Amino acid sequence: AAVAAGVPLGLLHGVPLAHKDMFFRASRRSSLGSHNAPPAWGAGESSLLGRLDAAGAIEIGTLNMCEFALGPTGHNAWLGDCRNPWHTDHIACGSSSGGGAAIAARLAFGAFGSDTGGSVRLPASACGVLGLKPTNGRVTLAGMMPLSPSVDVPGIFARSARDVARLLGIVAGRDARDPRSSGLPVPDYEASVEHGIAGLRIGVPQNFFLEGIAGDVALRLEESLQALATLGAEIVPVTVPAPEHLTELSRVLVYSEAAAIHGPWLREHAEHYSPQVRMRAATGLAIPAAAFQQAQQLRSGILRRFVDAVFSTCDVLHLPTLGIPVPTLAETDVGGSAAMWEKIAVLVRCTAPFNYLGLPALSVPCGFTRNGLPTSFQLVGRPFAEATLLRVAHAYEGV
């Protein structure tokens, strides 16, 4: 009708999208991955969805997610487990599990999820699509279910760097409804993907991130570095300062803030939580306020030292997204048992540190492991360097 009427068309006019069921609309109640979510959490229209609507996008549905976005595997005891479209016995990862699965299965052209510990990048890696976690503040949080407001970031799934760039350009920028959103100018991400990577320094961490990764994942990562080198990039070794502490600091923030949000509902309706989510949501109740405050106070100084140490040596970091082949649903169906913490630690080892730092990170598919499922490399940049990450990904797609 818009075409027939000759009205101006948006950059997404008629493009089918679908999003994690935690972005609120007045016309519906979001499930939040739960069978009994608190009604008050559904207040307020999503600014992000409003920007997509204004660009002409068509929302064709909402997507499966882990209960209250607390889970990296894609299991959901209430609404059904999200399965990997490459092999349905395997996980799609989480918590934005439906985003990775839907884009890989060609059900939509793009999707938005949330990333608080890797919840966009992990499903993107498991399902063989691109997944971007922007810099904290680059995209508005207004009208999105909170998990850990100081760490939460809306993230993007798509099948190409150009598609991610277009979606980011539409939703990025200052939002008066979100005081934490950045007022920095929004660059033309889509135009910048064509700038090439000749002379760009790509750093390979020599500590922590490559430790213990599976052999076939390591092989795919090395092949991707060789491809980037053929495009003119310079591959340089980098020592990353104290990465082993970043995940723990992120955990302190996430679980403390999650407990503050869930505490009243958890105390009154614990039976409405599955065992794993109940245990994880309650973990923050045992974290001292002093530990939470210290994790917040240390954050800016650690970020400054990290950026100075790493990005004085390279322009972009290259590391795994998921250091193991995608596991099966059965292997990761551990509920709230003691094995839960070990499984979570393995899955988020390479993603959660950058949630604490608030840095942009992009998962880029780079082939398959021996089990026939996708694997990816992850690109990390300095604050608000999303355009550089997308340049690298676009160049790699052309090899």
Average pLDDT on 31-38 reads 90
Predicted pLDDT of residue 42 = 59
25 Cβ contact partners less than 8 Å away, ≥ 6 residues apart: 45, 46, 49
Q: Are strands 16-20 and 110-114 parallel, antiparallel or unpaired?
A: parallel
Mean pLDDT of the region 342-346: 94
The catalytic site residues sit at 20, 95, 119
- Quick one: pLDDT band at residue 206, thresholds 50, 70, 90? very high
DSSP E strands, 134-233 = 154-158, 201-205
What local confidence, expressed as pLDDT, does residue 274 receive? 93
Q: Residue 35 and residue 364: Cα distance in Å, rounded?
A: 33
Confidence category of residue 201, pLDDT binned at 50, 70, 90: very high
Looking only at Cα atoms, what is the longest distance across the chain?
61
Across all residues in the chain, what is the average pLDDT?
96
Q: What is the mean pLDDT of residues 173-199?
A: 97
The per-residue pLDDT for range 95-133, each reduced to its tens digit, is 999 999 999 999 999 999 999 999 999 999 999 999 999
pLDDT of residue 228: 98
Q: Express as a percent the part of the chain with pLDDT over 70.
A: 99
What's the rounded Cα separation, in Å, for the pair 1 and 172? 28
Sign of CA dihedral 303, 299, 178, 349: positive
Where in 120-243 does DSSP place strands (E)?
Answer: 130-133, 154-158, 201-205, 234-238
- Above 80 in pLDDT, residue 172? yes
Residue with tokens 């609120």: 24
Between residues 118 and 8, the one the model is more confident about: 118
Report field, pTM of the whole predicted structure over 0.85: yes
Is residue 217 a contact partner of residue 346, using CB atoms and an 8 Å limit? Answer: no
What confidence score (pLDDT) does residue 36 get? 87
Residue 60: its pLDDT value, please? 97
- Averaged pLDDT for residues 228-237: 98
Q: Which of 55-64, 189-198, 265-274 has the lowest mean pLDDT?
A: 265-274
Q: Kindly give, in sequence order, each residue whose CB lies less than 8 Å from that of residue 322, ignoring residues fewer than 6 positions away.
A: 93, 122, 125, 126, 217, 347, 350, 375, 376
Q: Where does residue 270 fall: left (phi above 0), alpha (psi -120 to 50 degrees), or beta otherwise?
A: alpha
Residue 285 pLDDT > 90: yes
CA distances 67 to 70, 82, 257, 274, Å, are 6, 11, 16, 8
Q: Tell me what pLDDT residue 337 has.
A: 87
Structure tokens at 129: 């699509």
Residue with tokens 């990862």: 93
Prior bond to 148 cis, omega within 30? no
- Say if residue 127 is exposed, middle or buried (CB neighbours under 10 Å; 0-12, 13-18, 19+): buried
**Rounded to whole angstroms, how far apart are CA atoms 99 and 95?**
9
Residue with the two structure tokens 């000749």: 198
Contact (Cβ atoms closer than 8 angstroms) between residue 148 and residue 115: no
User: Tens digit of pLDDT for each residue in 40-66?
Assistant: 665 689 999 999 999 999 999 999 999
Residue 253 has pLDDT above 70, yes or no: yes
Least confident interval from 79-88, 139-148, 260-269, 373-382: 260-269
